[in-house]
Amino acid sequence: MNRELRLRLIGALGLFGLLAAVAWQWRADERDIREHTLLSIDPATVDRVDVAIKGLPPQHFERHDGRWSSDAALHDDVGRIEELASLAAAPVTTWKAASDFVPAKIGLSPPIAVLTLNDQRIEFGEMTALGKQRYAKVGDRIAFVPAQALPRAPRSASLPAQ
């Protein structure tokens, strides 16, 4: 094997090794991101949304052919449905076991809001005592999420002017 061919082979192996390391790091980063979000699903793949907010009637939305539909009128508030779906990717500061908490003390008995995205249920509780965070229950774990990570109420009709 001549010197030039050997150098090319070493360069190609080095490049392959570098690409493999980048791919491995990318997968590790993706896994880390999924561990630090409320749900492991991509908000763009959500096609069913159920939301129940304390004091309001429950709502159900489904996406068919890229368009949202509902039993009730949408009131041109499709942005709200996208916001609800985006809560799947809400950042999580910390995960704790649900057994470490008394649900009534953190606003989860009953929850302030319940959001179900593609059959994955999120229960939203009160704000934490310190910091601007909120309790959110997913399965048997409690997440600490930003205080703003809460389903918002639907738009209401404007009050009549007098």
Q: What is the pLDDT of residues 1-54, one digit of tens each?
A: 688 888 888 899 999 888 888 888 887 766 666 678 999 899 999 999 999 999
Same domain, 7 and 51: no
If you search the block for the tokens 């809460």, which residue do you land on?
A: 150
Q: How many domains does the chain have?
A: 2
- Model confidence at 159: pLDDT above 60: no
For residues 107-131, average pLDDT: 94
Domain assignment present for 153: no
pTM comes to 0.75
Same domain, 52 and 91: yes
Same domain, 114 and 60: yes
- Model confidence at 85: pLDDT above 90: yes
Query: Residue 22: which domain range?
Result: 1-35
Chain centroid to CA 45:
11
Domain assignment present for 161: no
Split at pLDDT 50, 70, 90, the class of 69 is confident
Domain assignment present for 160: no
Domain assignment present for 158: no
Same domain, 50 and 102: yes
Same domain, 117 and 94: yes
Residues 6+ apart with CB under 8 A from 53: 112, 113, 151, 153
The helix/strand/coil state of 22 is helix
Domain assignment present for 47: yes
Same domain, 49 and 102: yes
Domain assignment present for 52: yes
